[in-house]
Chain A
Amino acid sequence: MKHVDLLIIGGGPSGLAAAKMAAESGVSSLIIERDTKVGGQLVKQTHMFFGSEKQYAKTRGINIAEILINDCKEHDDKISYMTETTVVGLYPDYVVTVMDRNHKYSKIKANTILVATGASEKVLAFENNDLPGIYGAGAVQTLMNVHGVLPGQDVVMVGSGNIGLIVSYQLMQAGVNVKRVIEAASVIGGYKVHASKLKRLGVEITTNMTVKSAQGNGALESIVVQKLDDDWQFIPGTEEEISVDALCISVGLSPLSNLLSMVGCEMKYVSALGGNVPVIDHSHETTVPNIFVAGDVCGVEEASSAIVEGYYVGLIIGNRLGKTHPHYERLIQDFTQQLDNLRSGPFGEKTRSGLAQLRGEQHA
């Protein structure tokens, strides 16, 4: 059986960042990625990112992926990859089962494991929500920005979080008519700068509204939307039919944490963090020793914080394996400060309270 020092499950921004810091500390790692290439969600983000320069702000997501990948290339002797390979099992004896591109199964043993699997999109229940033409926002981004394929001509976006707003803007850039963005809550969820940018293009944003049903003969032809009161109850008589050939759903993400449940990590449902997340300590170690987490899998946030968390955990794992980074103390302090700073505003409130809930339980 193959045996590695550090096994990283998921080659998104947090996994890549961790591999880099571990390598700088002197630890070899193996990144397992189910996609054809590493980069995670970043490879489909064509817009400039927020944050500060330390987290590559104002750089387009796809270029941030390139920076992280190139950083890892500088440590070719220490970082290896298995792409188109999915981790299907994680066991208490630190063995993972993987399925490769030829559907062959094999086992790998590791001294430490970092689970950096990210998050998956939530679905929305409504009549006929399985009609062709109804997509998740992530799928639309992949279609458009990775494969150059348009999802349709007339689109309605459900959800006004940052992803919904950004993907709507990207649809407009691609020449698709975004008829409306609807939001069930009474206020826009994402950054207002994104909303204003979209509004300037003439896209209507309607709050207190959701999709009630979809219609179409074999494929989506129209949807019915309806107003909601502040308790999220339908207001009778406010139904409105909109003809669309694509509907894009962007109602949040939930952590892809099932491998952690499988290995017996203590889990907790924290809605502020997106769903079921592992209980972790300040070093991002789960309740199973030597199994660590970073990025969206332990709380849905942004790429900026996923990268910093990755760096942070990479250092910690190096230290755990007896290989301390030459600038360990300084970097740990720097990354901790960056994370606090990113989370200090009103948009970080969810993460702050979520983490407090998670940690409160652990110290109880």
Chain B
Amino acid sequence: MLKTTGVPDKALILTRFPDDVILGKPKAITECYEPIPCNPCETSCPFEAITVGEDINTPPKVDFDKCTGCGICVYNCPGLAIIVAQLKNDKAYFKIPYEFIPMPEVGETVHAINRAGEIIGEAKIEKVTLRKKQDKTALIDVSTNTELIHEFVTIRRMR
């Protein structure tokens, strides 16, 4: 239960995912379920794909037709509540925010982690981006098994 443990229920998570066909292209998954006064996701998206609206307490909604999966909202979200997900070539690809040092390296194998913080498999680091405008929140491209598409949320380095 989100309210007592911080882990959203599966049904809640699924409300934020488009179907697998749409996921053939990278799409933003906004795991921000609660009305909080916040809207940088909306204002940072260059494609106007995220709407919070007039009342800043409204949870964000993604227009998957407009979302290009660029990942800009991922590092602009102060709640680190957005990831980009994609199903491609029999793999699941993600763009995730990361704020720990040392940074993982491209090609490195890391633990795949679910929303409860448990290890659920392995993942591979595809790309690490940390430009100045990202203000210290790195954007990490990572791949893992397709079965983990609704489970994976972050990585943990081995050792």
Q: Which A residues fall within an 8 A CB radius of B?
A: 47-53, 57-60, 63, 172-173, 186-188, 191-203, 205, 207, 304, 341-348
Contact = CB atoms under 8 A, between A and B. Distances in A.
A152 to B, nearest CB: 19
B63 interface: no
Overall SS of chain B's interface: loop
**Which 8 residue pairs spanning A and B have beta carbons closest together?**
A345-B57, A193-B79, A195-B6, A202-B117, A48-B78, A199-B6, A58-B40, A50-B38
Contacts of A188: 3-6
Contacts, number: 127
B44 interface: yes
A49 B36 CA distance: 12
Contacts of B118: 202
A150 to B, nearest CB: 15
A196 B35 contact: no
A353 B107 CA distance: 53
Given A52-B43, A192-B33, A196-B6, A58 B76 contact: yes
Given A48-B135, A193-B31, A199-B116, A348 B100 contact: no
B37 A50 contact: yes
A60 B75 CA distance: 12
A196 B79 CA distance: 9
Given A205-B6, A344-B57, A347-B37, A199 B115 contact: yes
A16 B153 CA distance: 39
Contacts of B37: 50-52, 304, 341-345, 347-348
Contacts of B31: 193, 196
27 contacts: A47-B78, A48-B78, A48-B135, A50-B38, A52-B37, A52-B43, A53-B39, A53-B40, A57-B43, A58-B40, A60-B135, A172-B100, A187-B4, A188-B3, A191-B34, A191-B79, A193-B79, A196-B31, A197-B79, A199-B6, A199-B7, A199-B115, A205-B4, A341-B37, A342-B37, A344-B57, A347-B37
